[in-house]
Amino acid sequence: MGKAEFLSPKAIGNRIKSKGLQKLRWYCQMCQKQCRDENGFKCHCMAESHQRQLLLASENPDQFMDYFSEEFKNEFLELIRRRFGTKRVHNNIVYNEYISDREHVHMNSTQWETLTDFTKWLGKEGYCKVDETPKGWYVQYIDRDPETIARQQELEKKKKQDLDDEERSAKFIEEQVRRGKEGKEGETSFFTELKRENEEEKVAFSLNKGPSTSAATSSKSSTSLGPSALQAATASVKRKEASHSSESKEKKKKSALDEIIEMEEQKKKTSRTDYWLHPNIVVKVLTKRLGDNYYKKKGLIKDVQEKYTAIIKMVDSGDKLKIDQAHLETVIPAPGKRVLVLNGAFRGSEAILDSIDEKKFTALITLDSGRLKGRKVDVPYEDISKLA
């Protein structure tokens, strides 16, 4: 019987049927051919091309099964990673999306007989976290991409550094409060009651033209004042004494106030940023995408664009490259060389490298610029780089 004409109803029906998914039992993985019914599959099995494929598979069946199993595993994991990420999802949902592609590798050609066996194998090999529930098996992809792991480590390191800065600031504030309290305890004044030895004696004040305060005298020649004038005079004396005492306290605590102001300025600087590029420092290229000629090679930053992109000139070849800071790392010189602080409280300060602590991944530097010149501080490796 010949084929139906191009636009006949039968031809159109055949094309519609061939677009959708067909039954798994009528699919030949070796030939990658899908048959629509049992008769078609029987005819395909009798074909010469199918027999040749079977002969090839019979020579080394394990090799073909391993190949199909590897393809099935890679495509299944890629679908989980791209579609669901690290979310927990039912394995049947993932499998239904996977088989929606007509060209997928069928499970009956792999080493796993059922989806449950494959799910258990993923958990055993460490590709996914699997757990069984009354509703079935659930999978959760474990992302082991080096870039993702490095990004997570950088975020954790940044959080730790922020916490360290906050703890140092809190300790400094507590120290200032303690010193302030100690100063107040030393300046404590004692008040006594006003007692008059003779109740009949009159109290009089002589107001001089000079800046000296009023003095109480019992002389009869002094000017006698009434009750209202006496209250006004005592009030003015108390105001003057309060103003003098407040001025003296401010003068005594002026140094502590200056320290707090400096601490606030330092706190603004200690707010770490996620960008560290700076002109005239030496850096090292970490990406292989530019070729092996530039991998692990040093370059000098000539310009910084939009805080995160650097224009560098390679030291060996003299080539100019435009690279993101994610593909660069700082260079630690030998002790005694000059470095630039790129992040933290002393950002932008030049310093001299004294020593390196390989266990703590820190460096001891002596600041060579700014108001704190000559001060020795410990900074992490990534916060300094060699100056050109």
Residue 213: per-residue pLDDT: 45
What share of the chain in percent tops pLDDT 70? 73
Rounded Cα distance between 384 and 365, Å, is 9
Rounded Cα distance between 142 and 140, Å, is 7
Residue 225: per-residue pLDDT: 42
Q: How confident is the model at residue 220 (pLDDT cuts 50, 70, 90)?
A: very low
Question: CB-based burial of residue 119 (10 Å sphere; 0-12 exposed, 13-18 middle, 19+ buried)?
Answer: buried
| DSSP calls for 39-63 | HHHHHHHTSHHHHHHHHHHHH-HHH
Task: Tell whether pTM > 0.85.
Answer: no
Rounded Cα distance between 29 and 27, Å, is 6
**Inter-residue contact 330 to 384 (CB < 8 Å):** yes
Rounded Cα distance between 364 and 366, Å, is 7
Average pLDDT over every residue of 21-44 = 74
**Inter-residue contact 280 to 387 (CB < 8 Å):** yes
Lowest mean pLDDT among 35-49, 85-99, 208-222, 320-334: 208-222
230-246, pLDDT tens digit by residue? 455 555 555 555 555 55
Lowest mean pLDDT among 144-158, 180-194, 211-225: 211-225
Residue 251: per-residue pLDDT: 46
Residue 17: per-residue pLDDT: 60
Residue 223: per-residue pLDDT: 41
Question: Residue 112 has which token pair?
Answer: 């796993």
Rounded Cα distance between 151 and 167, Å, is 24
**The most confident of 62-66, 152-156, 202-206, 327-331, by mean pLDDT:** 327-331
- Cα dihedral 236/239/243/249 (nearest 10): 130
Residue 302: per-residue pLDDT: 92
User: Domains in the chain, please, with CATH?
Assistant: 276-386 (2.30.30.140)
156-193, pLDDT tens digit by residue? 888 777 777 778 888 888 888 888 877 665 555 666 66
Average pLDDT over every residue of 358-367 = 89
Residue of 291, 287, 296 lying closest to 323 (CA atoms): 287
Residue 215: per-residue pLDDT: 42
**Inter-residue contact 33 to 44 (CB < 8 Å):** yes
More confident residue, 155 or 323: 323
Average pLDDT over every residue of 89-102 = 86
Average pLDDT, the chain: 78
Q: Does the pLDDT of residue 218 top 50, yes or no?
A: no
Lowest mean pLDDT among 250-259, 270-279, 281-290: 250-259
In the chain, DSSP finds a helix count (H) and a strand count (E) of 9, 17
196-210, pLDDT tens digit by residue? 677 776 766 667 655
Q: How confident is the model at residue 271 (pLDDT cuts 50, 70, 90)?
A: low
Q: Does the pLDDT of residue 292 top 70, yes or no?
A: yes
Residue 280: per-residue pLDDT: 92
Residue of 315, 364, 321 lying closest to 339 (CA atoms): 364
